[in-house]
Amino acid sequence: MPEIFDAAGKGELGALLVVGADPVAKLRREPRPHWQNTFVIVADIFLTQTAALADVVFPAASLYEKAGTVTNTFGDVQLARKAADRAGVKPDFEILCG
């Protein structure tokens, strides 16, 4: 992540897509003005510090708003069943594929 911030600061990064992460909070470092020439897109279920600074934010579906599998902290793969639909949110895969 520090390298990404540095590349954006040097104008070497035209766009940045952040999915389900909050690098601003993790690095505890203010990205603007480093990101002033970088188009930042965030897809997340929460309005994180990074999402608050992004040019575009896509609301991502939570685990219970999509179907698939999840691996828990013990390495067990578990089936996730869609429990509800919510207007405006999409699973990560649909956001990435358009």
pLDDT score of 91: 75
What is the token pair recorded at 13? 């990064």
- Give residue 28's pLDDT band: very low, low, confident or very high (50, 70, 90): confident
Q: Tell me the pLDDT tens digit for each residue of 3-27.
A: 888 888 888 989 999 998 998 888 8
Q: What is the DSSP string of 77-92?
A: EEEE------TT-B-H
This model's pTM is above 0.85: no
Which amino acid does the sequence have at 84? A
| Cβ neighbours around 51 below 10 Å, total | 21
Mean pLDDT of 55-71: 86
Query: Are 48 and 71 in contact, with CB atoms under 8 Å apart?
Result: no
Cα(25)–Cα(30) distance, integer angstroms = 9
For 83: left if phi > 0, alpha if psi spans -120 to 50, otherwise beta; the answer is: alpha
To the nearest 10°, report the CA torsion of 77, 78, 84, 85. 20
